[in-house]
Amino acid sequence: MKYEQFKSRKEFDLNHLISFAYGRLVEDPPENFDARLPAPPFLMVDRILSMTKEGSRGSIIAEQDIRLDAWYFQCHFPGDPVQPGCLCMDAIWQLIGFYSVWRGALGSGRALGSSEILFQGQIRPHNKVARFEVMITRFQDLKKTGSSLAVADGKVFIDDEPIASVRGARVGIFQKIAYTDYPNPSPHSLGGSNREKKGI
């Protein structure tokens, strides 16, 4: 689809999300359109049902189908399979990053943290559908730095039962940090907070 179509669309299916993960969803991406979703099996949503924006605020509703043979049930834990709670948090971060790009942010998305995460339930192999309801409390395009910031609160439901809540989840979109020549050594091949001091 064209970039303007991408920004005006309100729903995305699994094909759209996987295409975005591989950088193939938008036919005419603008410069610095580097953001990606994780590819399966680490993509934690199967469809986005709705996205809205109003000023600096907005919302996202998305779902994940729970699969009996999901990779995480095979190892977390043997004899007591449960989806790791951190994957629910990652789903929220994935959605906030995707929302930011949908709002026009350019660059690569990075999770920046969360103020609060509370769990009151779990996801087991015979559950059916997880639903993520994310309220964007602030989206800000930081023009001077070429970066963007989104802050959100979220709720996680399994088969319509609430099991987790998140407050103050933050994602940044930053330009010129993508490591596109992996696995070759390059200026972006090392992490940490002070790449310049490492002589790369």
Q: Which domains does the chain have, with CATH numbers?
A: 3-198 (3.10.129.10)
pLDDT tens column, 18-34: 999 999 999 999 999 99
Q: What pLDDT score does 18 carry? A: 98
The amino acid that residue 92 corresponds to is I
Query: CA-CA distance, 115 to 127, in Å (whole number)?
Result: 28
pLDDT confidence of residue 143 = 77
Q: Is there a cis peptide before residue 29, judged by omega within 30 degrees of 0?
A: no
**Cα angle at 94 between 76 and 18, to 5 degrees?**
90
CB 48 within 8 Å of CB 12 = yes
* Distance between CA atoms of residues 69 and 169, nearest Å: 29
Active-site positions read 76
Q: Which helix (H) or strand (E) holds 16?
A: helix 14-21
pLDDT of residue 194: 58
Residue 200: the pLDDT is 37
d(CA 173, CA 37): 12
Strands, DSSP E only, in the chain? Answer: 47-54, 57-65, 108-113, 116-119, 129-142, 147-158, 161-174
Contact 194, 187 (CB under 8 A): no
pLDDT of res. 183: 93
Q: How many CA atoms lie less than 13 Å away from 142 in the CB half-sphere?
A: 12
55, two tokens: 């000023």
Residues 80-108: pLDDT tens digits? 999 999 999 999 999 999 999 999 999 99
Question: Which residue from 20, 37, 38, 28 is spatially nearest to 3, judged by alpha carbons?
Answer: 28
Q: What is the CA radius of gyration of the chain?
A: 17
Return the pLDDT at 144: 80
* Residue 64 CA from chain centroid, whole number: 13
Q: Which residues of the chain have pLDDT under 50?
A: 195, 197-200
